[in-house]
Amino acid sequence: MRIRRRSAVIALLAATLGVAVYAIAANATLPLTCPSATTDNKSCVTFKFLPNTGLSTTTRKAGSIEVRTHTNYAHPADKAHGGYAATVTVLFDSDFAVTPGTLPKCTGSMVTGKTPHDAMIACGPTGSNNAWLLPSTSTVFNGTATATGGLQGCTLAFNGKPNASGNPTIVLYARIWLSNFTGCGNPRNTTAPGTTVVLTGTLTNGTAPYGKKLTVPNIDQLPLALNDFDAKVTRGSYVSGKCSGHNGTIGGSKYWKMKTTFVYSGGSTNGQPADTATATQNCSN
């Protein structure tokens, strides 16, 4: 497995010096760079939790977390040869907690095939079942997404129903424009033609030094090969964090860490070897 550490760069939609860098102008995405793919896929991850200063060492404080993953495929959109992600698993630092509590819940079927406008009626604040994982007064998407071929789009995230084992889930929605993408805008008003893709991730317990594990399967069953997905979630105490210092320090600063595993389509014979990517963020008390 290859381990890719996060590098902070200016987010541009470009490829320079053999390194591909991606961002979408509408909703500001986290800066992220991945090496260009040659014979093997290359994947990376970054995240940001806020607030990251003035935190307790023992008591978690409600906040927001944004996670962005990206893959450069050696054989884009070629499902038999690893040109899709199949399963992405994200391990969150044990200083973070996810507490859905009594928030309303949504299922993937409730937003499948819907425009952002209609998804916000089915599972957001413009309807009667507000499971949206942003404040109800927000007028922006949770983030952005891209698919191979240069297609761009915007993401929404909803609190999902527990699975059969009682584990919390999160519904990840992306609206991908097939042409004439002009920015994300306000999801309540967005009805432009496009392709909607929906995934459901399951939250379970990780093992130290990680706390929660988010597993997102069946990505290779989508009609488009996603290569970038960014989403920010914040609503009440849905996500909270502390700065315990359990990881030690980097350059004298406490920090959090995240580990993400990418398993690709095509299996072990024709596909691509799995990737493991890591990222860190400083925090302080």
User: Is 0.85 surpassed by the pTM of this model?
Assistant: yes
SS3 270: helix
**pLDDT < 70 positions in the chain:** 1-28
11 and 23 in contact (C-beta within 8 Å)?
Answer: yes
CB atoms within 10 A of CB 268: 10
142 and 163 in contact (C-beta within 8 Å)?
Answer: no
SS3 189: helix
* Rounded Cα–Cα distance for residues 173 and 23 (Å): 18
Output the six-digit token pair for 41: 């896929």
Output the six-digit token pair for 224: 């488009």
SS (H, E, C) 14-37: EEECCEEECCCCCCCCCCCEEECC
* Rounded Cα–Cα distance for residues 30 and 67 (Å): 8
Q: Which residues pair with 206 in a beta bridge?
A: none
Q: What pLDDT score was predicted for residue 5?
A: 37
104 and 130 in contact (C-beta within 8 Å)?
Answer: yes
Question: In 3-state terms, the chain is what percent helix, strand and coil (to 5)?
Answer: 10, 45, 50
Instruction: Give kind and range of the element (H or E) at residue 44.
Output: strand 42-50
DSSP conformation class of 266: T
Residue that the structure tokens 């359990």 belong to: 246
* Rounded Cα–Cα distance for residues 239 and 7 (Å): 25
Domain ranges of the chain: 2-283
10 Å CB burial of residue 102 (0-12, 13-18, 19+) is exposed
Nearest to 177 by CA among 150, 195, 199, 157: 195
Q: What pLDDT score was predicted for residue 18?
A: 31
SS (H, E, C) 117-178: HHHHHHHCCCCCCCCECCCCCCCCCCEEEEECCCEEEEEEEEEECCCCCCCCEEEEEEEEEC
* Rounded Cα–Cα distance for residues 60 and 243 (Å): 8
